[in-house]
Structure 1
């Protein structure tokens, strides 16, 4: 059917959800909006699905949630009775319709005789990952759109190891989801019946208890946190999301008592009314935290995104201002502290490994080299980090010590298999306490790291391109870079070209295959060890340009970054 036929089918469906009926009526004279809502099905890919809430096949609503869950039920049934009996854990964040979508997913599973463990209130994504492992569930569902604008929601699927599904399994699931064509006729059990039959169980505090117990293992130096717990001044904001309750408990249980909260942002709010974007990557999201920090003379400001898997940090400078760190800087600080502390007390395993994405800074890798920690690069998406951890556990070849992505995602201990802002919150507090006891701030420390290891400066240019035209433009940009390979950026020669879609690495003299799954990413390493990468986002209608400049001089590295950015903008006309 074309989009008009799909629209008419929904319009004539007598049992259509009332709010969605109103949505259709609202746009009945706006063909462009209706076309966007029905021209395609909301894409279900390796990261699940994410979209604007509303009526239509290209929107997040109870019918597209049922479709995704129907596919998941078929996927689980295909794995046999034993997997089906293990059930599915489901959590949700503070967004519009999140709880309704979570329950709808549970009732769709119930129709298949699959039990769902649904959190009674909102919880962070990392706790969902933990719950899958703790409950020995067959899978997990997280209803979240991460840090997207308020009109969005999303649906992420986790495997029985607590990680998002790797490519092979994700492709299998996607096939099942796409096989469900008539999404308006998918069956869901009534809630009362599901509860009576034991197919819907609400969970919460029992899982919190075990998760917080596991969080204690993140702390390296309890004596330090005991000494500094009342001295260190922390400002924490969950940016209207899920991080408040567990974040506060996690800090207090290891001794940090002097914690101030941004009250305006402490309660869940699906409209995120105090920020333009609930994203700790955005310095503007720290405005209220900075005000609070100045009021209480805080040592560090910490923010988590709505589903508390990402974490941002602002540090006090020598002049008393607060500077928001990049995700790469936060990772470098953590890596230096963790590896130094473990080396000092002789508990760093010889076969230690750090995992990071291909578009993340090389500075943590250089730090890891100093401490004898191997770095392995994986594709963007924390599922690839989780997949490696699982492999290490199976063959005992390496010991996972740390994982991160430049997009403010970190993992310290693998009892969770996704990025975990609660773990990161605890670690940032501990390392800030350590350096404060030494007479340094985190601002001082990052510059000491640059002095020792060299200056690295990164920037991500993220360009949103909505609708069919946006998709076409993104594809055209990627095709242009492939057909007309750049020889230099900002006057610095390209020395290595990596095409992750073609799985090739090419220099002036050689061309070899790469041992990574295919992905639509291009990366150019330059003669001075700087690099540029280009990739479409896997979860949003965006194309991203990653820039990493490297030099021994802080002044020159900034100049290089500006030159690289100007070069990219001139090529793409951004």
Structure 2
């Protein structure tokens, strides 16, 4: 039998009733797609299409994964079991069901759980792990994926996502669970009565919001601008709307218009093609409302509210969607010029993020730390700072619109980002300029950076093989120049080698399938296969003395690299 047939038969032999009937109703092609492989637990947890099968997100996969987590916790001792696990969930199909399935598995194993009464954003979950001194956290979410998806992320006791070594250890426990149908669960109501399952609500939310309020740098700026600047907000049908109104209230009640249609919690994301505030189409309804209320700045959080998109109104019918790099640059420019810096301040950014922030902060004595893609590495760097007392972070960010200002959360935090950007926008508005005009001043000082991230899809079961072949081919190609621009240094984060002028030096990172090419002027190109979707992501940053020269270089980069990864 083929692998999918073996996996299918294992499920079919254990399944009963409606589940068995549903399995039998699948066509051979559907069975193959659902059972050809298994959702593997990695540093991003699990993420997949909802449905029956080993390659799908369903309550049985949730049970199996949680039982592995329970075994991992139990191996640490009774104290860790008593500390328990905090569980939250977003607005997606079956998210609440999956959350309580996880709690019932933990309860059966004698492990306490704290589950939010209502859907709750990812940053609140990350905060709550530390707030409740839990040993771990679970977030049921698929972030900005299409509505057919759901996922399962695990957090450590520090409130950060599991790093690779911890994820590997947990995966080894999960792999020992032979059949998800054999995983036993306790009764939810009984667990609540026994106090083994505690429901979380307002107390935890208030504690989180109190910390978010501390992100504000200068309340006088917010007060002065509160009746002058107009904002628009969209929750992208997710978890953000429940909290964002309270966040804005903390900001001296600035003028905010809400995109009503998208502030409805909808698992089908009915008004957007993709609930991803990195993309222009996600702001279509926001722009329509902005015209009606003459708004200056448009905000949107993704469904689990860990990321923030920012769009600037340039004139009637004209808007500019800021990239993650541009938003981070505006944040940092404001922080280093208007906020008292701590001793040994640090910027933490991903290896695929712009180098413009480096130029902004270094004259102010801020050290820059590069980490691998994935916010868990930002969290790990913060943990190292705390252990060594060497630095204090003023901002952690990655170009995919993920930001962290204060380390009471150890993951991306859309509410912290919204708080700071409300103040940044208000400050520049009082100076008579919009955020794009503020960026222009930064470019004139530090050089023009033109940047783009392109995702190339490789769908189907053969997609992974094709991506692997492409990465292998590019890795074996000696790229001394790209589009006529000499490469200064080639970095391979899989082999952990850097090559410059023929000299090979080691890279001090965890191994990761990323290639990066750096140029003398701080331009760079990087590519990596996504850890959660069937695509290769191509990151390009081009530097020029003028905007036109930077744009020209970026187009040349795009042309060459897209040909290379076809």
Partner of 2:129: 132
SS in 2 for 1:260: strand
SS in 2 for 1:440: coil
Partner of 1:13: 14
What is the rounded CA distance, in whole Å, between the counterparts of 1:305 and 1:254 in structure 2? 21
Partner of 2:205: 208
Partner of 1:281: 278
SS in 2 for 1:255: coil
Whether contact under 8 Å (2:291, 2:316) holds in the other structure is no
What's the CA shift string for 1:263-321, capped at 9, x where partnerless? 00001100001000000011100000000111101110000000000110100215662
| Offset at residue 370 of structure 1 (A) | 2.2
What is the rounded CA distance, in whole Å, between the counterparts of 2:318 and 2:458 in structure 1? 35
Whether contact under 8 Å (1:230, 1:255) holds in the other structure is no
Match of 1:261 among 258, 263, 283: 258
Does residue 123 of structure 1 match 2:120?
Answer: yes
- Worse-matched range after superposition: 80-89 or 521-530: 521-530
- Worse-matched range after superposition: 402-411 or 544-553: 544-553
How is 1:305-316 mapped onto 2 (pairs within 5 angstroms)? Answer: 305-316=302-313
| Offset at residue 339 of structure 1 (A) | 1.3
Distance 1:22 1:297, change over 3 A: farther
SS in 1 for 2:118: coil
What is the rounded CA distance, in whole Å, between the counterparts of 2:552 and 2:16 in structure 1? 61
What is the rounded CA distance, in whole Å, between the counterparts of 2:404 and 2:140 in structure 1? 21
Partner of 1:175: 172
Match of 1:503 among 487, 493, 496: 496
Distance 1:22 1:462, change over 3 A: farther
SS in 2 for 1:415: coil
What is the rounded CA distance, in whole Å, between the counterparts of 2:56 and 2:21 in structure 1? 15
SS in 2 for 1:70: helix
What is the rounded CA distance, in whole Å, between the counterparts of 1:258 and 1:91 in structure 2? 30
Distance 1:139 1:317, change over 3 A: same
Whether contact under 8 Å (2:226, 2:254) holds in the other structure is yes
What is the rounded CA distance, in whole Å, between the counterparts of 1:407 and 1:359 in structure 2? 10
* Residues paired across the two proteins, number: 565
What's the CA shift string for 1:34-64, capped at 9, x where partnerless? 1111112111111101000000011000010
How is 1:36-115 mapped onto 2 (pairs within 5 angstroms)? Answer: 36-115=33-112
Does residue 250 of structure 1 match 2:251?
Answer: no
Structure 1: 4+ residue segments shifted above 3 A: 11-16, 20-23
TM norm structure 1: 0.96
Q: Unaligned stretches of 5+ in structure 1?
A: none
| Offset at residue 144 of structure 1 (A) | 0.2
SS in 2 for 1:133: helix
Does residue 390 of structure 1 match 2:383?
Answer: yes
Whether contact under 8 Å (1:316, 1:443) holds in the other structure is no
Does residue 530 of structure 1 match 2:523?
Answer: yes
Does residue 472 of structure 1 match 2:462?
Answer: no
Whether contact under 8 Å (2:308, 2:418) holds in the other structure is yes
Whether contact under 8 Å (2:61, 2:180) holds in the other structure is yes
Match of 2:423 among 409, 430, 434: 430
Match of 1:490 among 483, 497, 506: 483
Q: Unaligned stretches of 5+ in structure 2?
A: none
Whether contact under 8 Å (1:349, 1:399) holds in the other structure is yes
Give the alignment's Cα RMSD to 1 decimal. 1.3
Whether contact under 8 Å (2:222, 2:254) holds in the other structure is no
- Worse-matched range after superposition: 220-229 or 406-415: 220-229
| Offset at residue 464 of structure 1 (A) | 2.1
What is the rounded CA distance, in whole Å, between the counterparts of 2:14 and 2:342 in structure 1? 61
SS in 1 for 2:346: strand
